[in-house]
């Protein structure tokens, strides 16, 4: 799955990769979690634009977002079938800029965190869907979810799922909902190539959402490897889930 990720490249580097018109200025974020505001890139009148939305999809038919468990991941196998994703897959596809993401390997009652990034340490983009929710009093909320697929061979030893990483040459195909139908776009929802990524164990400091610094992605030391590993903590803001319908963190 993808329950936490990091954006550490400069605004200029991300803009060069994703070619959006806007000139946002934002600091690095090392421990992004569901319910937080996150940047996405989407098409608006044929132009790529940068937007901030809440991570955790709220479908437009939801009556009360407070009573709806956030969908922070959408399974690729379900995006063209499940009501929560069908319209977004047809009309509101987006990209999530990222520099890496976290996965937890379960070993009995222990969970070991790993950081996953491109081997060349350059930024990339997850496939995503976004929606706009309108409340009874005119209030509006934009939200988004990251699409996941089966893990490739590298990550399968850590977790069975991984976020879909869209190749730069396929950005336009994924974003262009006016000319590319949902079935065609779904062909992009595949595991990353085996030689694209690297993964290494890191400190359990990442388990606390409040921790947000470059130290989080430092390789784990021998001393830390001897310490007990704990499960990631929930944020206090909301119960989170993936689109399996079961309460989940990662």
Catalytic residues: 2, 103
Please name the residue ranges forming H helices in 93-179: 153-156, 171-175
* H runs (alpha helix) in 70-110: 83-91
What is the spatial distance between Cα 71 and Cα 239, in angstroms, rounded to a whole number? Answer: 10
Tokens of 130: 């976004």
SS3 231: coil
User: b/e per residue, 146-182, with b = 16+ CB within 10 A?
Assistant: bbbbebbebbeebbebbbbbbeeeebebbbebeebeb
Cβ(61)–Cβ(96) below 8 Å = no
**CA dihedral (151, 51, 55, 117) positive or negative:** positive
CA distance 159 to 104: 7
Whether 180 and 222 have beta carbons less than 8 Å apart is answered as no
Please, is 44 exposed, middle or buried when counting C-beta atoms within 10 Å of its C-beta (0-12, 13-18, 19+)? exposed
Q: Hunting for tokens 């959408």 — which residue is that?
A: 74
| Closest to 237 (Cα-Cα) out of 29, 45, 33 | 33
């Amino acid at each position: 799955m993808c329950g936490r990720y990091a954006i550490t490249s400069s605004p200029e580097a991300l803009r060069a990769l994703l070619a959006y018109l806007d000139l946002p200025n934002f600091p690095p974020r090392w421990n992004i979690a569901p319910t937080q505001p996150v940047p996405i890139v989407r098409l608006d009148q044929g132009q790529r634009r940068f937007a901030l939305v809440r991570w955790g999809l709220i479908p437009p038919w939801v009556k009360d977002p407070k009573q709806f468990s956030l969908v922070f991941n959408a399974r690729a196998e379900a995006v063209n079938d499940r009501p929560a994703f069908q319209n977004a897959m047809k009309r509101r596809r987006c990209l999530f800029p990222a520099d890496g993401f976290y996965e937890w390997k379960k070993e009995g009652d222990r969970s070991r965190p790993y950081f996953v990034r491109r081997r060349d340490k350059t930024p990339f983009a997850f496939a995503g869907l976004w929606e706009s929710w309108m409340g009874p009093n005119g209030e509006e909320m934009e939200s988004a979810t990251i699409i996941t697929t089966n893990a490739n061979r590298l990550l399968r030893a850590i977790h069975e799922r991984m976020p879909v990483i869209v190749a730069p040459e396929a950005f336009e195909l994924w974003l262009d909902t006016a000319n590319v139908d949902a079935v065609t776009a779904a062909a992009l929802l595949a595991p990353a190539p085996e030689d694209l990524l690297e993964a290494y164990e890191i400190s359990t400091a990442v388990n606390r959402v409040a921790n947000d610094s470059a130290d989080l992605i430092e390789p784990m030391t021998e001393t830390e490897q001897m310490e007990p590993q704990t499960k990631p903590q929930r944020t206090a803001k909301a119960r989170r889930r993936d689109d399996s319908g079961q309460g989940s963190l990662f």
